[in-house]
Structure 1
């Protein structure tokens, strides 16, 4: 396919846009994309036109979404995609330490080529000999690790994970590796089976999940619940399932108003801590040690060392030219799709 990028012209209206491969500056490198993961959360909210950035302006100073004639993300949207892997195919005249053929991870969108500074590339090089597909999980892996950190898991804790899409599956693995006994919750039996194969002690359906979790934990409830689906019913059940004065981490990207939360019941009477986990920042108490770049790198290192097995979550691979069809299938909720990946016609 000729150099091109995917753009969103209107809700559910994708197109390919030609790329101009301009000459490099002296401190730049040119990257050819090998793989690009598709997010079934943030990206679908853009694709469907329901993301708040597409309707309001986010004021960075006040950190408020405000009504505006021009939203933060007007059409056409050119920032689709944040799970890319590529290889360097050209270096600028002043770049002496990077070489053609080196592979890196990053977030540059669904596009065949990308130009980055040498500093950007240096910080994101994949380990020598690594399976390049692990780079697809650098950002979504960081999201999941941030959520596990926010849950403040202790060895021996019982942790319930609600929602077993890609980020939920990563949370299951990371919580298990942190020493927790993990109970995975999802309506899809196939996703529950994947969680069981990758560290969950139990995997249950959402119906009466709180009662099941408390029965399995001497009536106490989970030491922490992590909600990863963005479904209001899942958040409500996580609040019911957690122990007295324990923590619920809301990782899911909730769209619009959240209906169905009965805040006068368990939330109020059990003194539940409700924490938002979002990759725009890390917990303030950890910010002098942890940062987004460290989370990205950790997600890569844990995979390369074999402590997280995330490439098993890839269920469908499609050529870049089929991206429009792939988004439609994800939007329709096709069964069996978990992590989907676009490929770019080059051997990996």
Structure 2
């Protein structure tokens, strides 16, 4: 395998243990930001171990079986799990085996198709914990991909919060309105924000985020850029405004919650947040799993303008 190539391969499932579950996959989500870096071979050697997906096979750069947004039905396993719809951090695969403690039961009020957004919702939730966002805050989110939209959606649920999504694509305005928050193009972005989230994975987006921040505001960097250096405009008013630039990453529970929250509790909270029919708008394309090899390159290209692509099994 080489950069920007993908293929469907048959594998033999291992013999399940007495407590293992056999899951028939219904849907899997394509986490475009991370999977594009993997697809292009841009995971830095220093991050090869930290970036391994829980059920990944192979090693970076290639070949690897990757992905972490699978939803399926338990068709064999412990009696209490049979027939349950579950979410698992598993690569794209039509059947797989996992222990019950690696599975998250999808609530009845969350459709299986929408449940593929659970990993992104968990990242958005953790970002708000890192940011210490609160009621009444003026919040700007730069980058209208799925993660940015989910961060803005959570922010808009804070009482009295003024939330603006900033993106270069004016078509995001309609989605922002449907989800309950404002929209602006970069040259119209409001200034003096109490809190800014950056999720565009671009240097111009980071510059917009810094410019949008008010005095002593916090900028939460959610983008992961992979290999290469990213210019950041730390001149100008960055120091005189006493800005904070912090990172947020879902691999660890935010320090403010870590003493009390397990990964499982955080994942369940994120899944419960998906019980909103408006979030179906974040899934913009369905692909039959049998066509994944031919169609994934388009979704993972820099020119794709959709939101979440899902594989239908």
Q: CA shift at 1:96, angstroms?
A: 3.5
Q: Does 2:14 correspond to 1:32?
A: no
> Helix, strand or coil for the counterpart of 2:81?
coil
Q: CA shift at 1:230, angstroms?
A: 1.0
**TM-score of the aligned structures, taking structure 1 as reference length:** 0.82
State which of 317, 320, 324 in structure 1 corresponds to 2:289. Answer: 320
C-alpha contact 1:106 1:135 (8 A) present in aligned 2? no
The C-alpha deviation readout for 1:17-48, integer Å capped at 9, x for no partner, is: 11213432111110010000101100000001
Q: Distance in 2 between matches of 1:319 and 1:242?
A: 43
Q: Distance in 2 between matches of 1:58 and 1:82?
A: 16
Structure with higher Rg: it is 1
Give matches, 1:56-95, under 5 Å: 56=46, 73-78=60-65, 80-91=66-77, 95=78
Q: Distance in 2 between matches of 1:134 and 1:271?
A: 40
State which of 15, 36, 45 in structure 2 corresponds to 1:44. Answer: 36
Q: CA shift at 1:195, angstroms?
A: 1.2
C-alpha contact 1:160 1:185 (8 A) present in aligned 2? yes
Map of 1:98 onto structure 2 = 81
Q: Distance in 2 between matches of 1:41 and 1:342?
A: 16
State which of 294, 301, 307 in structure 2 corresponds to 1:338. Answer: 307
Q: How many residues align?
A: 306
Q: Distance in 2 between matches of 1:208 and 1:126?
A: 40
The C-alpha deviation readout for 1:284-308, integer Å capped at 9, x for no partner, is: 232112343222211211222x3x7
C-alpha contact 2:41 2:60 (8 A) present in aligned 1? no
> Helix, strand or coil for the counterpart of 1:19?
coil
State which of 232, 256, 271 in structure 2 corresponds to 1:285. Answer: 256
C-alpha contact 1:161 1:168 (8 A) present in aligned 2? yes
C-alpha contact 1:226 1:250 (8 A) present in aligned 2? yes
Q: Distance in 2 between matches of 1:168 and 1:193?
A: 15
> Helix, strand or coil for the counterpart of 1:312?
helix
C-alpha contact 1:185 1:192 (8 A) present in aligned 2? no
Map of 1:107 onto structure 2 = 89
Seen in structure 2, the aligned counterparts of structure 1 residues 338 and 26 have a Cα distance that, compared at 3 Å, is: same
> Helix, strand or coil for the counterpart of 2:186?
coil
> Helix, strand or coil for the counterpart of 1:10?
coil
- Residue ranges of structure 1 left out of the alignment (5+ in a row): 1-8, 61-70, 215-220
- Residue ranges of structure 2 left out of the alignment (5+ in a row): 51-57
C-alpha contact 2:129 2:256 (8 A) present in aligned 1? no
The C-alpha deviation readout for 1:41-87, integer Å capped at 9, x for no partner, is: 000000011122xx346577xxxxxxxxxx96242112x11111000
Seen in structure 2, the aligned counterparts of structure 1 residues 59 and 166 have a Cα distance that, compared at 3 Å, is: closer
Q: Distance in 2 between matches of 1:130 and 1:335?
A: 27
Q: CA shift at 1:239, angstroms?
A: 1.2
State which of 242, 263, 272 in structure 1 corresponds to 2:234. Answer: 263
Map of 2:55 onto structure 1 = none
C-alpha contact 1:239 1:266 (8 A) present in aligned 2? no
Map of 1:311 onto structure 2 = 280
> Helix, strand or coil for the counterpart of 1:87?
strand
